[in-house]
Amino acid sequence: MEKKKVALPLVCHGHSRPVVDLFYSPITPDGYFLISASKDSTPMLRNGETGDWIGTFEGHKGAVWSSCLDTNALRVASASADFSAKLWDALTGDELHSFEHKHIVRACAFSEDTHHLLTGGVEKILRIFDLNRLDAAPREVDNSPGSIRTVAWLHSDQTILSSCSDTSGVRFWDLRSGKIVQTLETKSPVTSAEVSQDGRYITTADGSTVKFWDSNHFELVKSYDMPCNVESASLEPKHGNKFIAGGEDMWVHVFDFHTGKELGCNKGHHGPIHCVRFAPGGESYASGSEDGTIRIWLTSPVSREESDAVRGNAPNPKVKAVVDEVNRKIKSSLHIGTA
């Protein structure tokens, strides 16, 4: 009798409050990594493949709304309700700098060349900090129509995008002029905006709709109505043939990119899902929830027989053999605070 395929995630505990943002690093010589932001004020770094905890970054005094890794996974940035964005050493956990703001910081993103950090928040100002001159005043772009919710870089760091918590649409800013050059129209405020790994698409979630846009021509490519209000969506990076979405119904939905047909539905969270993201190789994806957990799901569900190796936080032995040496190297140099 054929074994029924079921999705059995790795469940990552550690946060004491809702997980509101997830970010995967690119694949590095030491593997790839997952950073999570939470209302408990402590971003957490994990092995992206196994979900194993590596370290916790301690220093914020308010909820952390966003966190990210630079291209080489050597530095972490975090945006917080304590009116600051912080820069951290990803290997040691040391705080390298605190960029003070005048209100809540909701979003942050490293430039592709890793030389700049972009932030945005309730002040309605986009700030670009020079990471080679940490004490220098940032460049400011202050024409955002509302409180900034998401930020990202594209076009080889020549363009930045932002969306607002209280205003619909996505805006694109030309860094040379500091002006808005394009706006993507949506019915509701955009709660998630992801630039695809190849830079070709921008995936947005607004209300109960997921849209895909051509990042070069700013044209709408696909638009799909979701079964509920979704807060986040992510496009599979390797083949681009499926996408995931999560929101208020507490389930992670998997869809066909070309047709919009629902391919699967992963249940397990006990609260609304705030963020979903594909791993850089597309073999798995992560979800962060109001319930304080991160769940890592395999893109191709395993059978119950195979699942014994991946239940809870125990990684598949084949994967673990490869990753253990990576973890050993990294942890030997860490003195990051314990969870």
Please tell me the distance from the alpha carbon of residue 201 to that of residue 226, in angstroms, as a whole number.
19
DSSP 28: B
pLDDT of residue 172: 97
pLDDT value at residue 301: 58
Q: Is the pTM of this model over 0.85?
A: yes
pLDDT digits (tens, 9 = 90+) for 113-154: 999 999 999 999 999 999 999 999 999 998 899 999 999 999
CA 231, CA 180: separation in Å to the nearest integer? 25
Q: For residues 108 and 85, is the Cβ–Cβ distance under 8 A?
A: yes
Burial class (CB in 10 A: 0-12, 13-18, 19+), 261: exposed
First vs last C-alpha separation in the chain: 44
Q: Give me the mean pLDDT over the 179-186 stretch.
A: 96
Record: fold of 10-300: Methylamine Dehydrogenase; Chain H (2.130.10)
Percent of the chain with pLDDT over 70: 86
